[in-house]
Amino acid sequence: MNNQTIVQRDLSVLWHPCSQMKDYDPRSTDPDALTLIPIKSGQGVWLEDFDGNRYLDAISSWWVNLFGHANPIINQALKAQLETLEHVILGGFTHQAAVELAEKLVEITPDGLNKCFYADNGSSAIEVALKMSFHYWRNLGQTQKTKFITLENSYHGETLGALAVGNVALYKETYAPLLMDVISVPSPDCFFRDADESWEAYSIRRFADMEQTLARHAESVCAVIVEPLVQCAGNMRMYNPVYLQMLRAACDKYQVHLIADEIAVGFGRSGTLFACEQAAISPDFMCLSKGLTGGYLPLSAVMTTDSVYQAFYDDYQNLTAFLHSHSYTGNALGCRAALATIEIFQTQHVLERNRQLALAMAKATERFKEHPHVAEVRQTGMIVAIELVKNKQTREAFPWQQRRGLKVYRYALSRGVLLRPLGNVIYFMPPYVITEQEIQLMADVAWQGIQLAVQD
């Protein structure tokens, strides 16, 4: 046993995700060097390190935490579950929490999503949806359907299938030789609308590309996959619900599935419980993870329809069953945390309170719009993004090597706020238990961080 506290140890034994480890080398003399921050505990929106410094978790720990760290309701539910059943094989066996959660998810997701399939992280949910869609058509004898349509600037995770249908070069480029071919269509990303054009008009205009692509390729296409309303990892770019309405109609017309990746925008983040609600549509597959367990445990679910389920329901010898399994499928602790999370939504008027918080975030970031290095401040529900540029008029970007966003990150940490900009896009995606005062703090720190970051 090593009794040294984490702070005294060599931390490089642990290879961190989404990180150039050299940035964190304690011997580094690079002015851009960073230090790993060992966290001792969390409470509500606050994280605390071993020196007693506190950090406001303005990004919900990679968008997963909804109701704060150490939430008493989720803690209580997990303690009880732990004393009863921690996990059991989901092949041939079942359990209370998994069934209850499946029922709940059927109840709260859009109409027609009557079946729930579990996996254990977001990327795996995407793999499930892709395989299930392909396999559905195959079971129907439509073996020519092997392709997927995806939007430019989309992100669906980093396992190979998920990476293939994603589109952010930073994650994808290196692995391109390993990835299946997909058909990509320009994104309705409203950052590129004309100055006097509404989000709605631009989203409608952009749909022409999708319509054309479907008309041309539908024969060979299993599904279109989209992130409803916000392309989160793609710099928090946003579009109007009308695009989803048009997409739903076109997918029906051309006999192609619609996969809604609500992994980031689901569970209230977009302002409604699910983003698809704003377009009043039901997808054929809805992928859920991140907020599903309130940020407690890795779990994901793919919701789908009776007709998809029925296409797999057959005699054993016909080999039409869906074979996709993870050891931890339907983990009991994960399911219990998810049930407690949904209970909070159903008992605490969360969406109403979020509307107030979203207004407070809009108010606190109003002045950023006039900043000489801010091209746009955009918002969908509980997500606000501030796009830093070198030149406000031409929207010319800062060269990426200058790592302006990183300067904001570093400054914010020194002020006790965890922001984690995506390149030069500073965004807020806080837990729903944040107060209006804390929103003001978050915005003030971001403002001062930006002032510092845009110098010279």
Binding site for ligand PLP (CB under 6 A): 121-123, 126, 155-157, 227, 232-233, 261, 263-264, 289-290
Smaller CB separation from ligand PLP, 123 or 354: 123
Looking at the Cβ atoms of 95 and 156, the one nearer to ligand PLP is 156
Minimum Å gap between C-beta 265 and ligand PLP is 7
Q: Given the complex with ligand PLP, which of 233 and 301 has the nearer CB atom? A: 233
Burial of 231 (0-12, 13-18, 19+ CB in 10 A): buried
> In this complex, which beta carbon is closest to ligand PLP, that of residue 165 or of residue 389?
165
Q: Report in angstroms how near the CB of residue 378 gets to ligand PLP at its nearest.
A: 17
CB 298 → ligand PLP: shortest distance, Å?
7
Q: Cβ 3 to ligand PLP, closest distance in Å? A: 34
3 state SS of 394: coil
Long-range contacts formed by 173-181: CB under 8 A, 24+ apart: 181/147
- Name the residue nearer to ligand PLP (CB basis): 139 or 331: 331
Using DSSP's 3-state secondary structure scheme, residue 345 falls into helix
Residue pair 113/106 in contact (Cβ under 8 Å)? The answer is yes
Tell me the residue number closest to ligand PLP, measured at CB.
122
Q: What is the DSSP letter of 178?
A: G
> Pairing between strand 285-288 and 54-57?
unpaired
- Nearer to ligand PLP by C-beta: 116 or 374? 116
DSSP letter string, 90-141: SSS---HHHHHHHHHHHHHSPTT--EEEEESSHHHHHHHHHHHHHHHHHHTT
The C-alpha atoms of residue 68 and residue 317 are separated, in whole angstroms, by 49
Phi/psi-derived region of residue 343, left when phi > 0, alpha when psi is between -120 and 50, beta in every other case: alpha
Output the six-digit token pair for 310: 């029925």
Decide whether 156 or 378 has the Cβ nearer to ligand PLP. 156
Cβ 157 to ligand PLP shortest distance, Å: 3
- Residue among 139, 6, 81, 134 at smallest CA distance from 338: 81
Selection from 260, 185, 265, 262 nearest residue 225 by Cα = 260
Q: Choose among 129, 183, 122, 185: nearest CA to 157.
A: 122
Q: Nearest approach, Cβ of 162 to ligand PLP (angstroms)?
A: 6
As measured in angstroms, the least distance from the Cβ of 61 to ligand PLP is 12
Min dist. Cβ of residue 109 to ligand PLP (A): 16
Closest to ligand PLP by CB, 123 or 213: 123
Query: What token pair was written down for 108?
Result: 């709260």
